[in-house]
Amino acid sequence: MGAGTCRAAAGRRSYAALGLATRHGIADQPAAALVRGCDLIAAGVKPGPALGDLLAAAYEAQLDGAFSSRAAG
């Protein structure tokens, strides 16, 4: 099996997954944030603008693939 065959198979799987997501109405929904404000407050971060900055940075890291579960976040 050549590299082109693998890419084609992966493309078909991706297309099928998109079809399923569309059918279930979740294709365009953003990923849920895994790190929440209460998590940071429990870790000792004081409520305020810095908390929002940390949440935004954590969400960006999540979207970039730095972590994919609450335990890893």
Predicted confidence at residue 5, as pLDDT, reads 52
Assess whether 47 and 71 both reside in one domain. Answer: yes
Assess whether 20 and 45 both reside in one domain. Answer: no
N-term to C-term CA, the chain:
38
Predicted confidence band at 11 (pLDDT cuts at 50, 70, 90)?
Answer: low
Mean pLDDT of 8-19: 63
Assess whether 64 and 36 both reside in one domain. Answer: yes
Q: Which amino acid is at 34?
A: L
**Measured distance CA(34)–CA(62) in Å, rounded:** 8
Predicted confidence band at 23 (pLDDT cuts at 50, 70, 90)?
Answer: confident
pLDDT digits (tens, 9 = 90+) for 33-57: 999 999 999 999 999 999 999 999 9
Domain that holds residue 16: 1-29
pLDDT digits (tens, 9 = 90+) for 25-35: 776 777 889 99
Assess whether 20 and 36 both reside in one domain. Answer: no
Provide the domain count of the chain.
Answer: 2
pTM of the full structure: 0.60
Assess whether 37 and 68 both reside in one domain. Answer: yes
